[in-house]
Amino acid sequence: MGNVWDRATEFLSDHLSAILPIALVAMVLPTAVSSSIAPLGKLGGMPAMLVSLASLVFSIITLWAQLAIVALVLDRAGGRGLAMQVARKRLLPLIGILAVLLIAFIILMLPLPILLATSGFDIQAAMTHSRVEIPPTVAGYVAVYLLVLVPVMIFVSARLVLLTPVVVYEPLGLGAIRRSFVLTQGLVWKIIGMLILYGIVAGVAILATRTVFGSVLRLVLGGDGLVTTASVLTALIGAVVQTVFVVLAAAFTAKLYLAVRDARGAIVESI
Residues 96, 210: Cα–Cα separation, whole Å:
32
- Per the prediction, the chain carries an average pLDDT of 86
pLDDT at 122: 63
Q: 233-260: b or e for each residue (b if 16 or more CB lie within 10 Å)?
A: bbbbbbbbbbbbbbbbbbbbbbbbbbbb
Residue 128, pLDDT > 70, answer no
Number of residues in the chain: 271
> Which amino acid belongs to residue 58?
F
Q: Which whole number is the average pLDDT over 97-101?
A: 94
Residue 29's nearest CA partner among 232, 251, 252, 223 is 232
pLDDT digits (tens, 9 = 90+) for 7-47: 888 988 888 989 999 999 999 999 999 988 888 877 777 77
Q: 199-228: b or e for each residue (b if 16 or more CB lie within 10 Å)?
A: eeebeeebeebbeebbeebbeeeeeeeeeb
Which pTM was predicted?
0.85
> Which amino acid belongs to residue 236?
L
Burial class (CB in 10 A: 0-12, 13-18, 19+), 118: exposed
Q: Which whole number is the average pLDDT over 63-90?
A: 91
pLDDT digits (tens, 9 = 90+) for 178-209: 999 989 888 889 999 988 988 899 999 988 88
Question: Is residue 3 within 8 Å of residue 271, measured between CB atoms?
Answer: yes
Angle between helix axes 229-262 and 188-221 (nearest 10 degrees) is: 160
Question: Is residue 180 within 8 Å of residue 261, measured between CB atoms?
Answer: no
pLDDT at 240: 93
pLDDT at 95: 95
pLDDT at 264: 60
